[in-house]
Chain A
């Protein structure tokens, strides 16, 4: 296999070490305008062809025989122009990094086969570390149309929802539900009530997990309303005027 990777100083190590996991070892050519990328390429024993980009891709005829092209720069405008160049020389498989999720449509339009959305991966990870009682959607691999939705329960743990109840609410959906406690152990007991710090995960096709998470939300809301009603009733009794 022959791989052409356009990289920057910050992406060179990550991209090249991933490629080196392949067996048998592919032939790799690295295109970059950064001197640091030249140094990393030499250390990793791969060919460095330099820049400028994307002109260098058009200039070398040999690239027409390559199998995979990777656009992994920090700037989406460069990634888009490299994808355009790779497609125009007939590269069979084109992979691109996406630094701003809003530019996804442009990369799709230019013909990228796989788009690695660095932007949403970073922002969703930060959100998942900070936000509680709210669904966060993450798509871990660009090659598979699978995503997961994650929610960490804090306030909602007082609702006393059992794992089994959630599973039955999602019986008609083709998503997989699992829960992990705050110690990181899987909760297998369906009769167990979810407590503070527990994390719920929905795994499935992106559109289906969004629907399933809405179903779980409805169940939570029903329980919240029931709790609010019973609380209001208890207040009515205790505040009845004397005499």
Chain B
């Protein structure tokens, strides 16, 4: 079964990480994913500050500016060749190889265009995220799907990432906002992800930037009027 799946699936793999813990995880993540799906090319994208000790022979890209997760994912999407990409958070253990394989199959077969796997993130960040984004997501009609700020596995068509504006925190929510609800699959992996220390104290800054981009997308999609967009932007600035 594993062989049959591997022979059909051809994706580019991006493992992004910002911490020392991620550096130790990368080898294990890469080898287990490479066993189950056929990886066309793979990059590690490091978006932490300072050096990165390379542990294996996967090309490593250093993303600028540091701690800009959205830019790191976009850089990975720019580097790879395959039209389908699997983006995995190297700083967390919150994913299963089976879910990566099945999601790749779903995207390659056209069953879904974007797959996100959500871990539980720290409560402060989730609350700030929801307070800023819930209304806008409601306007777009995808409120239930992307109510969490962080996703440990992202699999989708590369063009969704390269053609979408990125925010300091993410690109996956913004890519999802450009899709119809049925083209998006979000799975709860019931795992507690606590490895986003660099966000602490900056939750509002990360989410405000994301919310502004979300308003732009909602306006482009005619989900909200210009007046409503201006009202949202005023509210975000004032918060």
Q: Which residues of A contact B (CB under 8 A)?
A: 75-78, 80-81, 99-100, 102-103, 105-106, 109
Stretch at the interface among B73-81, B144-152, B183-191, B198-206: B73-81
The yes or no answer to B62 lying at the interface (CB within 8 A) is yes
The yes or no answer to B63 lying at the interface (CB within 8 A) is yes
Residues of A within 8 A of B75 (CB): 75-77
The yes or no answer to B52 lying at the interface (CB within 8 A) is yes
Pick the contact of B78 from A75, A103, A105 — CB < 8 Å?
A75
A77 and B79 in contact (CB under 8 A), knowing A99-B64, A102-B62, A109-B59?
A: yes
Min C-beta distance of B149 to chain A, whole Å:
24
Residue interface mask B103-141, A partner, CB < 8 A = 1: 000000000000000000000000000000000000000
Beyond A75-B64, A77-B63, A77-B75, list 20 extra A-B contacts (CB 8 Å). A75-B75, A75-B78, A76-B61, A76-B62, A76-B75, A77-B61, A77-B74, A77-B76, A77-B78, A80-B78, A80-B79, A81-B78, A81-B79, A100-B62, A100-B64, A102-B51, A102-B52, A103-B61, A105-B59, A106-B61
Min C-beta distance of A190 to chain B, whole Å:
41
Residues of B within 8 A of A75 (CB): 64, 75, 78
Kindly state the separation between the CA atoms of A78 and B64 in the bound complex, as whole angstroms: 12
Min C-beta distance of A147 to chain B, whole Å:
21
Q: Which chain B residue shows the least CB distance to A99?
A: B64
What 5 pairs across the A-B complex have the smallest Cβ distances? A77-B75, A102-B62, A77-B78, A100-B62, A77-B79
Residues of A within 8 A of B74 (CB): 77
Q: Which chain A residue shows the least CB distance to B46?
A: A102
Do the beta carbons of A76 and B59 come within 8 Å of each other? no
26 contacts between A and B (CB under 8 A): A75-B64, A75-B75, A75-B78, A76-B61, A76-B62, A76-B64, A77-B61, A77-B63, A77-B75, A77-B76, A77-B78, A77-B79, A78-B78, A80-B61, A80-B78, A80-B79, A99-B64, A100-B62, A102-B51, A102-B52, A102-B62, A103-B61, A103-B62, A106-B60, A106-B61, A109-B59
Residues of B within 8 A of A99 (CB): 64
Kindly state the separation between the CA atoms of A81 and B76 in the bound complex, as whole angstroms: 11
Residues of A within 8 A of B78 (CB): 75, 77-78, 80-81
Min C-beta distance of B54 to chain A, whole Å:
9
Residue interface mask B59-71, A partner, CB < 8 A = 1: 1111110000000
Kindly state the separation between the CA atoms of A100 and B63 in the bound complex, as whole angstroms: 8
Kindly state the separation between the CA atoms of A81 and B64 in the bound complex, as whole angstroms: 16
Min C-beta distance of A120 to chain B, whole Å:
13
Kindly state the separation between the CA atoms of A77 and B51 in the bound complex, as whole angstroms: 18
Q: Which chain B residue shows the least CB distance to A81?
A: B78
Residues of B within 8 A of A105 (CB): 59
Min C-beta distance of B140 to chain A, whole Å:
25
Min C-beta distance of B136 to chain A, whole Å:
26
Min C-beta distance of A43 to chain B, whole Å:
28
Within 31-88 of B, Cβ neighbours of A (below 8 Å) are at 51-52, 59-64, 74-76, 78-79
